Amino acid sequence: MTKRLMEGSEAIAEAMVAAGCRFFSGYPMTPFTEVLEHMAKLLPGVGGVCMNAESELEAVGMAWGAAAAGVRSATGSVGQGLSLMQESLSEMCYARVPVVVINMARGQGDYFQATRGGGHGDYRHIVLAPCDINEAVHVTQLAFHLADQWRNPVTLLGDYYLAHVQEAADPQRVDFGPLPAKDWALDGTSSGTGKAKIVSPLSSGKRSPESQIGYGAHLEAIAGRVRAMAEGVEPLVEVGFVDDAELVVVAYGTPGRYVRYAVGKLRDAGLAVGFVRPITLWPFPSRAVAEATANARAVAVYELNTGQMFDDVRLAVRNVPVHFIGQMSFDGSGFGIAPALGVSSLEERIRATYEQREMVAS
């Protein structure tokens, strides 16, 4: 067990390999590029394959093909590239293909894309959003476990900071317990047996004298799984100082880390503030948010957009006013670092809400 200094993108790549990921495909786009570079370096050494796909459409298709063979497989991009992949990101849920999607988002404008999806149809990805590198090492591996457990794509939602900040980490394999055998995966051996397997977004099986599996029945099974995931996936969440907090601030990802620090400082200054940091964004930790805010007189949501997770918080919180204190990124480079993402600016916004003053966007 030796920790060494590594940037987030390398730590995520190391964690993927530790989790047993043996196929990765991607198309360069910063800050996802760095993850792709590290996978290209790491995978050949462990007998894996890293593909430089010709486009995001092909990257997701390749990962789909490898996952259908039962190999732990991942792809990814940033929000723009994932927009191109949406058809597959949706249909992979219907085909029940356990692909992990590394979404190194540029800002936080892609919360809706990650949790609601930009694709067609009625589908969900489990979404995990770590706030630092050691947490990323853990939840990256959890993503592969959950993907196999539920036979559903899982998205790891990172950001520009997470990709580039360096921290000491030691990505070792984490054991999350046993998983069902991948008896559905394709290897050719069931061809010609009268019971050849199929992995398809259109049906759960081939026809046989006993059954003609229709699309309706397939969709019913998919709907059942969405319900099962919504209830069965235990959402991860970090809470702090909430027991006696009058104001609770909700934030995720790197800004969640800033909020945690700012709230700690304001506590030291005597303000009764607390924070909730959802790590699992779907299913949203509604119960934990409701419990953490039950005794507060106000809730504030900080995110680098015009208010997206804000909707989920409002759905979760009962009888307490919810204020939006975030801000869209105006960063010309497009990497989503809002002017407000600084401890003093954050403290000011939290303090203003705490004192019930009207917030004016700076």
Partner 1 sequence: MKQIPVVPSDRPPTRPARLIDDFTPPLVLPGEHHLCPGCGEPAVMRSAAEIIDESQLTNRAIGVIGIGCYTAFSSSLDIEVLQALHGRAPSLATGLKRVRPENIVFTVQGDGDMVNEGLQEVIHTAARGEPITAILLNNGVFGETGGHMTATTVIGQRTKNTLEGRDAKAHGHPIRLSNIMAGLDGVAYVARGATNSAGNVARTRRMLKRAFDLQEAGAGFTFVEVLTMCPTGWFIDTAEAPDYLEANLAAVHSIGVLKDIAA
Whole-angstrom distance, CA of residue 71 vs CA of residue 88:
18
Should residue 67 be labelled a site residue for partner 1 when binding is judged by CB under 8 A? yes
Of 194 and 270, which has the nearer Cβ to partner 1?
Answer: 194
CB of residue 128 to partner 1, shortest distance in Å: 23
Q: How far is the CB of 191 from partner 1 (least distance, A)?
A: 5
Question: What is the signed CA dihedral for 343, 134, 292, 159, rounded to 10 degrees?
Answer: 60
DSSP one-letter code for 202: S
User: Looking at beta carbons only, is 44 or 321 nearer to partner 1?
Assistant: 44
We find the least distance from the C-beta atom of residue 75 to partner 1, in angstroms, to be 9
HSE of 229, CA atoms in CB hemisphere, 13 A: 27
Question: Does residue 194 interact with partner 1 by CB under 8 A?
Answer: yes
Is there a contact between 274 and 239 (Cβ–Cβ < 8 Å)?
Answer: yes
Choose, by CB under 8 A, the member of 11, 16, 63, 100 that binds partner 1.
63
* Pick 33 or 200: Cβ nearer partner 1: 200
Start-to-end CA distance of the chain, whole Å, equals 46
DSSP H or E stretch at residue 63: helix 56-68
Site for partner 1 in 79-138 (CB under 8 A): 87-88, 91, 95
* Rounded Cα gap, residues 41 and 45, in angstroms: 8
Q: What are phi and psi of 16, to 5 degrees?
A: -60, -45
68 in contact with partner 1 (CB under 8 A): yes
- Stretch touching partner 1 by CB under 8 A, among 65-73, 175-183, 294-302, 336-344: 65-73
- Residue from 116, 164, 182, 206 that binds partner 1 (CB under 8 A)? 206
Helix (H) or strand (E) holding 247: strand 247-250
Please select the residue that binds partner 1; options are 44, 55, 172, 246, rule is CB under 8 A: 55
274: which strand partners?
A: 248
Binding status of residue 221 toward partner 1 by CB under 8 A? no
C-beta closer to partner 1: residue 80 or 200: 200
CB 343 within 8 A of CB 262: yes
The residue ranges that bind partner 1 (CB under 8 A) are 22-23, 25, 49, 51, 53-55, 57-69, 71, 73, 87-88, 91, 95, 186-194, 196-203, 205-209, 212-213
